Amino acid sequence: MKLRDAPSACPSLWRWLPCPPAELRLDLVLSSGQSFRWWESSPGAWTGVLGGRVWTLRQDGDRLWYTVYGEEEEHREERDECPAKAAKLSAAETDGILRDYFQLDVGLSPLYHAWGAADPLFRKVANDFPGVRVLRQDPVECLFSFICTSNNHISRITAMIERLCQAFGRCLCCLDSRPFHAFPSLSALTGPPPPRSAPVIVPWPRLHPLSASAVPLPGADAEARLRALGFGYRAKFVSGSARAIAEGLGSEGLCQLRTVPYAEARRVLCALPGVGAKVADCVCLLSLDKAEAVPVDTHVWHIARQRYGVALGGKSLTPRAYQEIGDFFRGLWGPRAGWAQAVLFCADLRKGQKPASSQHQA
DNA sequence: TCCGACCCTGCTCA
DNA sequence: ATGAGCAGGGTCG
């Protein structure tokens, strides 16, 4: 199958939702470290896996355009390349998946206004970064992705998760000969390795050298395979958490943390290996509907002290300091403090980069 | 309560 | 130009 850039080439394969840039900026949201599975396949077009299907998204004015691969009536002979082809989705269903993922029912403009009224610093930054909203991700994908973020940076996290999906997730389809894999299921991360005739080696730019050289060892357990994929000490955390969830609440139970209070969800998550306060808060905010969760990393800690003058004792980010910083921002921004923090975080990530308008110049 | 170790990468500074 | 040194979006013991 071929990648699709824009609706103009084949309009019948695209749909759109009304969505002004003030409510969503695809480029800011999909590249700011909330999810690590979106790729700018051509300028302004974002391709990635969502809900077990491959999508390309694009914004044009007040429209959010999308296309889903593998939903066409013809080309059924390509089923051989896509053994995991699922039932066709209706337009209402795909619309719904996107609305849910981007939480489009949450109006962002009033929130920006309120945060700006309460916080002059926010107002200053937010002018240049409209449309930054929090995604509503799958809890399993979110948890295991953020276990990989410790002591790490976005480019490496992205490469690691790509390798994780290639090694443990099922192939959904190939676009311009690039394979796209689903995020691994819990059982894929716990159980014995599936018999694989040959390792998947992907000829594509920006792939980590390890993906070609250190392929998973057939017969090795999940942790060893993850180590071979360059996960380092996180291999133990990923396999350990997968096992703990599989033997405990299950992926459904993880999902049901959406309905319990923030503190309870956080407590359950922190009991998992490789999950501390920061990772737990990321999972709470980005997949469990806890809009008040404020993940505090060293970066946010720095901002809190330098720009907001939060006075805290020690030189290191102790659990107590962590709690106080979160409480400070919740007091400042209110019940969706995590959403406001995402805006500042995105702005800080882009500080020093070229403005978006000149991104694609030489 | 406070470190140091942990895997690995990319940056800085001789 | 090249390599040692070190911090980086944390967690655990």
| Percentage of the residues of chain A whose pLDDT score is greater than 70 | 84
Indicate the average pLDDT of chain A.
85
Q: Which nucleotides of C are covered by protein (CB under 7 A)?
A: 8-12
> What's the pLDDT at A173?
94
Kindly state the average pLDDT of the residues A319-343. 93
Residue A359 scores a pLDDT above 60: no
Contact A230, A210 (CB under 8 A): yes
Nearest to A102 by CA among A336, A286, A338: A286
pLDDT at A255: 96
Architecture field, domain A139-192+218-352: Orthogonal Bundle (1.10)
Q: What is the pLDDT of residues A57-113, one digit of tens each?
A: 999 999 999 999 997 764 444 444 554 556 889 999 999 999 999 999 999 999 999
pLDDT in tens, A142-183: 999 999 999 898 888 999 999 999 999 999 999 999 999 999
Structure confidence at residue A221 (pLDDT) = 85
CA-nearest of A346, A332, A284, A358 to A115 is: A332
Q: CA A265, A267, A271 angle in degrees (round to 5)?
A: 115
What is the DSSP code string of A96-138? HHHHHHTTTTS-HHHHHHHHHHH-HHHHHHHTTSTT-------
In percent, the amount of chain A with pLDDT more than 90 equals: 69
A1-70+90-103 shares its CATH topology with A139-192+218-352: no
At A72 the pLDDT is: 75
pLDDT over threshold 60, residue A278: yes
**Quick check: A277 CB within 7 A of strand C?**
yes
| pLDDT value at A219 more than 90 | no
Check pLDDT > 80 for residue A262. yes
Cα separation, A279 vs A274, whole angstroms: 8
The candidate with the shortest Cα–Cα distance to A48, out of A61, A39, A59, is A39
A217 pLDDT above the threshold of 90 = no
Cα separation, A145 vs A35, in Å, equals: 8
Residue A86 confidence (pLDDT): 66
Cβ contact A158 with chain C strand, < 7 A = no
Closest residue by C-alpha to C1' distance, nucleotide B1? A318
CA A106, C1' B5: Å apart?
43
Which SS3 state, helix, strand or coil, does residue A298 take? helix
CB of A213 nearer than 7 A to strand B: no
A123-137, A206-220, A221-235, A345-359: segment of lowest average pLDDT? A206-220
Secondary structure (3-state) at A17: strand
Tokens of A145: 């992705």
The two structure tokens encoding residue A70: 């593998």
Instruction: Give the integer Cα–Cα distance in Å for A54 and A56.
Output: 7
Burial class of A242 by CB neighbour count within 10 A (0 to 12, 13 to 18, 19+): buried
Calculate mean pLDDT across residues A38-58.
96
Report pLDDT for A85.
Answer: 58
**What residue is closest to C12 (Cα–C1')?**
A274
State the pLDDT at residue A119: 96
Q: Is a pLDDT exceeding 50 seen at residue A362?
A: no
Cα-Cα-Cα-Cα dihedral sign, residues A183, A149, A290, A44? negative
Within 8 A by CB and 6+ apart from A60, the residues are none
- Higher pLDDT: A289 or A198? It is A289
Token reading at A336: 């969706």
Angle at A237 between CA A231 and CA A242, to 5 degrees: 110
Q: What are the residue ranges spanned by the domains of chain A?
A: 1-70+90-103, 139-192+218-352
From A278, A290, A315, A354, the catalytic residue: A278
Domain A1-70+90-103 has what CATH class?
Answer: alpha beta
State residue A265's pLDDT score. Answer: 95
Q: Please say if A278 is a catalytic residue.
A: yes
Backbone angles phi, psi at A342, to 5 degrees: -60, -35
